[in-house]
Amino acid sequence: MNLKHLISPATTSAKVKADSKKSVLETIGKSIANELPDIEFQQILTNLLNREKLGSTAIGHGVALPHCRLANLDEPIAAIVQLVKPIEFDANDNEAVDLFFGLLVPEDAEEQHLEILAKVAEKFSQAEFRNKLRAATTNEELYTVAISD
């Protein structure tokens, strides 16, 4: 799956310093809110935090896929964040997380939401892809790796 239709250079953040779930979700929320002038950052953050309360979105191997649906969103949009230092994210494999793919989809797009999550999870399950993302040192490099097939 090519992530080009979900992320943009503006929603790509490499070498981020974060020390908590909330700070990573804030980074994701801010980068997406900057791209969506009709949606407020606080709405995105609240929805991401509420989803995380239902259970961790960490999928293992140092990866988490925070996601939520928003009522006033027209198209899916995502952000990718690479941390300088992994943080605890309640992963089933007990591995700290340093790669985040934050996904927002329209509220009524349940099937599309699940389909995108499955494809993204499959892509992030590939060790080679994760290693390339972790090796990126700039936003541009991270974006280029993320959209490569």
| Residues forming the active site | 67
Query: Whole-number mean pLDDT of the chain?
Result: 95
Neighbours of 4 (CB within 10 A): 12
Return the pLDDT at 1: 62
The domain 3-147: what is its CATH number? 3.40.930.10
Residue found by looking up tokens 């972790």 in the block: 134
Residue 122 DSSP code: H
pLDDT at 149 over 80: no
Model confidence pTM above 0.75: yes
For the stretch 29-70, pLDDT in tens is 999 999 999 999 999 999 999 999 999 999 999 999 999 999
Segment 77-89 shows an average pLDDT of: 97
Where exactly are the structural domains of the chain? Answer: 3-147
Q: What is the DSSP string of 73-120?
A: --S-EEEEEEEEEEE----TT---EEEEEEEEEETT-HHHHHHHHHHH
Return the pLDDT at 39: 94
